[in-house]
Structure 1
Amino acid sequence: MSHVKPKKKTAKRKYRKPLGYDFTVLFIVLILVLFGVVMIFSSSYYYTMTTERFHNDMFYFLKRQSLWAVLGIVAMVGMMHIPYTLWRRFAKLAYWLSNLFLLALPFVGTEAGGQKRWLGIGSLSFQPSEFTKIAVILFLSSYVIEHRKELANLKGFFKACCVLLLPVALIAISNFSSALLVGLMGATILFVASPRVWYFGAAIAGAIPLCGLAVAIPKFRYRLTRIKTWLDPWADPTGDGFQTIQSLYALASGGLFGLGLGQSRQKTFIPEAYNDIIFAIICEELGIVGAALVILLFAVLIWRGIRIAMNAKDSYGMLVATGITAVIAFQSIINIGVVTNTIPNTGQPLPFISYGGTSLLFLMAMVGMLLNISRYPKDREN
C-alpha cells in the first residue's frame, strides 16, 4: 500500500508591487521643464534685445531658467531618494518657520511690483509662499491624522481650518493669488480626510464675509477692479484690460497650428510674456493643437498623482500626495483660466513652464516627494 504524502498547506501570500518610481510622472515633468525653457527663450528674446538693462543679451532668461531647471532636477532626484515619512518629523518646524518668514515679509521683504514677496539679499532670495506650500502639506497632513477623531465634530474641524487659515491669511497680505492656491490645496486635504462633507458648506459660508472684507479694505480695493476688468476688459483697453486683451489676441491669432516657434507677435506687446502669461504665447506659436497637448500632459500628470495618492501605503503618504497633486492641478487651472479670461486676473505661474526659479525649485522638490510616495504602494493580495 503506497503512502501518499499530504500536501502542505501554503498560506495565502501577499506581494508588494516592485519598488519602482512612477516614471510617467518623471518623464512628463522633465518634458514640461524642457519645454518651458524653450518657450521662455522664445517669449523673452525680443524683450531682452530691446531693453537696455539686459545689454542686448537675448539669452538672459534662457541661461537663468536653465540653471534653475538643473537645480530643480537635482532637488527632485534628491527628494526621490529620501523616504517621505522622514519629513513628518520636521513638519511642525517647517510650518512655524514658514509662518515666521511670512510675518517678516512686511518688515524686511524685498519689494517687487509694489508688493513685498521676497526674502533674502540680492540674487540669494526666495518667495516664502513657495516654501509655505510644502510646509502646509506636510503639517496639515500630519495634523489631521493625529486628530482624525476630532474631525468628526465641528469644533475639531474648525481647529484644523485654523491651522490652514493662519498661513493663508499671512500670504494674503502681499499675495492673494498664492493665498488662494494654498487655501484650495489645504481644503482638498481636509476634504479627503474629513468624515463630514457638509462641514465644508459651513466653512464656505464663513469665508464669504472674509472675502467681502478683503474687497472693502481700501488697500485691497484693486481686487474689485480685477473682477470688473474680467467682466469687460475692453472698458479700459490701454489700462487694466490691456494684458487680458493682448492675451486673447494671441489665442485668436494662433489658429489651429500656430504661427511657428519664435514667431509670436503679441510678445512684443504683452509685458513679461515669459512669466504668468506664457500660455498665451504657446497658443499663438503652437496653436490650439500645441496648447491642447500641453493641457493633456498636465491632465495625465494630475491623473497619475491621484493614482499615487490612492495607492499610497499609509494615510500620511495619501494626504501628502493629494496636497502635491492639488497644487499642480489648481495652479495649472488658475493660470490657464486667467490667460483665457475664464476667471479674473490673478498672478500664478504655469507649473514647470513659466519663468521663476523659486517656484520651479520648490515645485520639483514636491514632485520628488510624490515620486518617493509612488515607490511605496500599499500591499495587494495575489
Structure 2
Amino acid sequence: MLALLKNLRGDKAIWAIVALLALFSFLPVYSASTNLVYVKDSGTTISHLIKHGVLLFLGFMIVYAVHRIPTHYFKGLVLIAMPIILVLLGYTLTVETNIGGVSANRWIPIPFVGVKFQTSTLATVVLMIWIARYLSKIRETEITFTESILPLWLPVCLVVGLILPANFSTAAIVGFLALLMCFLGGYPLKYLFVITGTGIVMASMFLFVLFNATEALPDRAGTWKTRIETFMHPEDASADATRQANDAKMAVAQGGLFGKGAGKSVMKNSLSQSESDFIFAIIIEEYGLIGGLGLLFFYLLLLFRIVVVANSAKTVFAKLLVIGVGLPIVFQAFINMAVVVQLFPTTGQPLPLISMGGTSIWMTCLAIGIVLSASDKKQEEIMSSEIDDTNPLEVLSGQL
C-alpha cells in the first residue's frame, strides 16, 4: 500500500479532495440505504454499504490506472472510443428498462458482474475529449462553419440525439457543456451564436410538441412534462407529483443549522431516491446547513484545483482536456444540490462521489484520472514535445 501511495502522481490537493468526499460518502449512504432495506425490501444496509465500498475501490483503481497515462495519448484513444460509444448508445435504446413502470432505456447490463452500465456517463467524457482534441487542432487556424460540421457538430448531435429519447435532462446538460466547451476553447463566436440560436429554436419546438402532443414523443415525455409543470406551477400539481420535492424540502428544513446527527434522518424512509439523486437532502437533514455548505466548499475547492491544473498545463489540448472532463463533475454536483433546494426541476443527476450508484462513480473516477494525468509534472515534457510518429494512434489523430 505504501508503495502504491508513493507512485501517486499529479495534483495532491485533488487526490485529497476526492479521497475525503469518497470517505464521507459512507456515512450518508449507510444511513439512506435503510430506505432500500425497509421500504423497498432490497438487501441489508451492510450489503449496500459493501457494494458502495467495492464500487469506490474499483473507481480509485480506475483513477490510478488512468492518471499514469500520458495526456497526449487521449488524442488517439478518443478516435477509437467515439465510434464505440455511438454504437453503445444506439444499443442502449434497444435494452428495455423501466422506472416506475415507464420506459427509460439508459442502462446495459455488464455480463457476470450484476452491475448496469449507464452509457451516457461514458459518452459525456468521450465527447468532451473529442471536442478538446478538435479545438486544439484549430486553435491557430481560421475555419469556416461548414468545415466544422462533420468533425465537431455531427458527433455532438449524434451523442445528444442518442441520449435524448431516454434521458432528456442528461442530453440537455451534455449539449450545454459542449457549447460551453466550444466557447472556452475559442471556437468562433459568430458560428457559436448560429448553433445556439438553432438550438433555442429546436428546443422551443420540442417544448411546444411536449406540451401539446406528448403522445408523439417517447414514453418518458410524460415524465418530463410532469416535472416541468410541477416545477413551474407546484400549486397546481397533484400530491404525487410534488411528494418527492416536498419531502426533500422537509428534510432540508428539519436539518436546521447543525442537523440531527449522523444516521438520524427521518425523511430518508419516505423520500424517494434518498440514497442517490436526493442524498444531499439527507446530508443537510443529518449535518445541517453547516454540513451542506461544507460539502459545497469541497466541490468549489475541486473546481479551483481543476482551473489551476488547466492553467498550468503546457499544451492547448491538455488545458482543454482538463476543463472538458473536469467541469462536468462540479457542474453535476451543483445541479444535484439545486434540485434538492428547488432551484431546478428534478433531473435524476447523482451527487458525484457521494451518491450510491453504479458506473456513474466509475465515470467520475475516469474523468478525475484524466485531470490528474494532465497535472503530472513528469509528463509535461512529453506533452509539449512532438508526437512520436511511430505511434499509429497519434499518426491517425494528426491526419484527422
> Residue 43 in 1 paired to residue 32 in 2?
yes
Q: Which deviates the most, 28-37 or 219-228? A: 219-228
For residue 116 of structure 1, give the secondary structure of its aligned residue in structure 2: coil
**1:327-368 per-position Cα deviation (integer Å, ceiling 9, x unaligned):** 112101211111111012111011111111200011112101
Give the aligned CA root-mean-square deviation in angstroms: 2.1
Equivalent of residue 71 in structure 1, options 58, 70, 77: 58
Partner of 1:22: 11
For residue 126 of structure 1, give the secondary structure of its aligned residue in structure 2: strand
> Residue 171 in 1 paired to residue 163 in 2?
yes
Partner of 2:89: 102
Partner of 2:340: 339
For residue 108 of structure 1, give the secondary structure of its aligned residue in structure 2: coil
Partner of 2:269: 268
Q: Is the 8 A contact 2:70 2:373 kept in 1?
A: yes
**1:244-303 per-position Cα deviation (integer Å, ceiling 9, x unaligned):** 111111111111001111111111210120010100011111110000000000000011
Q: 5+ residue gaps in structure 1?
A: 1-18
Q: Offset of 1:194 from its aligned partner? A: 2.3
Matched AA of 2:19: L
> Residue 86 in 1 paired to residue 77 in 2?
no
Matched AA of 1:312: A
> Residue 210 in 1 paired to residue 208 in 2?
no
Q: Is the 8 A contact 2:36 2:42 kept in 1?
A: no
> Residue 118 in 1 paired to residue 113 in 2?
no
Partner of 1:130: 121
Calculate the TM-score normalised by the size of structure 1: 0.88
Cα–Cα, structure 1 residues 236 and 246, in superposed 2: closer, same or farther, change >3 Å? same
Match runs of 1:138-157 below 5 Å: 138-148=129-139, 152-157=143-148
For residue 125 of structure 1, give the secondary structure of its aligned residue in structure 2: strand
Matched AA of 2:276: N
Matched AA of 1:184: F
Calculate the TM-score normalised by the size of structure 2: 0.84
Matched AA of 1:332: A
Q: Is the 8 A contact 2:115 2:358 kept in 1?
A: no
Cα–Cα, structure 1 residues 210 and 323, in superposed 2: closer, same or farther, change >3 Å? same
Matched AA of 1:334: I
Cα–Cα, structure 1 residues 109 and 323, in superposed 2: closer, same or farther, change >3 Å? farther
Where in structure 1 do 4 or more consecutive aligned residues deviate above 6 Å? Answer: none
Equivalenced residues, count: 359
Q: Which deviates the most, 164-173 or 120-129? A: 120-129
Q: Is the 8 A contact 1:157 1:199 kept in 2?
A: no
Q: Is the 8 A contact 1:48 1:58 kept in 2?
A: yes
Q: Is the 8 A contact 1:254 1:283 kept in 2?
A: yes
For residue 71 of structure 1, give the secondary structure of its aligned residue in structure 2: helix
Q: Offset of 1:214 from its aligned partner? A: 2.8
Match runs of 1:222-371 below 5 Å: 222-236=223-237, 238-371=239-372
CA distance in 1 between partners of 2:336 and 2:38 (Å): 27
Matched AA of 2:232: L
* Structure with larger Rg: 1
For residue 240 of structure 2, give the secondary structure of its aligned residue in structure 1: coil
Q: Is the 8 A contact 1:150 1:156 kept in 2?
A: no
Q: Is the 8 A contact 1:237 1:245 kept in 2?
A: no
Q: Offset of 1:236 from its aligned partner? A: 3.0
What fraction of aligned residue pairs are identical, expressed as a percent? 27
Partner of 1:6: none
Partner of 1:61: 48
Q: Offset of 1:201 from its aligned partner? A: 2.8
CA distance in 2 between partners of 1:344 and 1:299 (Å): 22
CA distance in 2 between partners of 1:51 and 1:227 (Å): 27
Partner of 1:4: none
Q: Offset of 1:171 from its aligned partner? A: 0.6
**1:143-170 per-position Cα deviation (integer Å, ceiling 9, x unaligned):** 2223446664333455523331210111
Matched AA of 1:82: I
Q: Is the 8 A contact 2:28 2:283 kept in 1?
A: yes
Q: 5+ residue gaps in structure 2?
A: 1-7, 382-400
**1:194-234 per-position Cα deviation (integer Å, ceiling 9, x unaligned):** 25334333222111222133331523254233222112334
CA distance in 1 between partners of 2:362 and 2:163 (Å): 19
> Residue 186 in 1 paired to residue 174 in 2?
no
CA distance in 2 between partners of 1:264 and 1:204 (Å): 43
Q: Offset of 1:125 from its aligned partner? A: 3.0
CA distance in 2 between partners of 1:58 and 1:222 (Å): 30
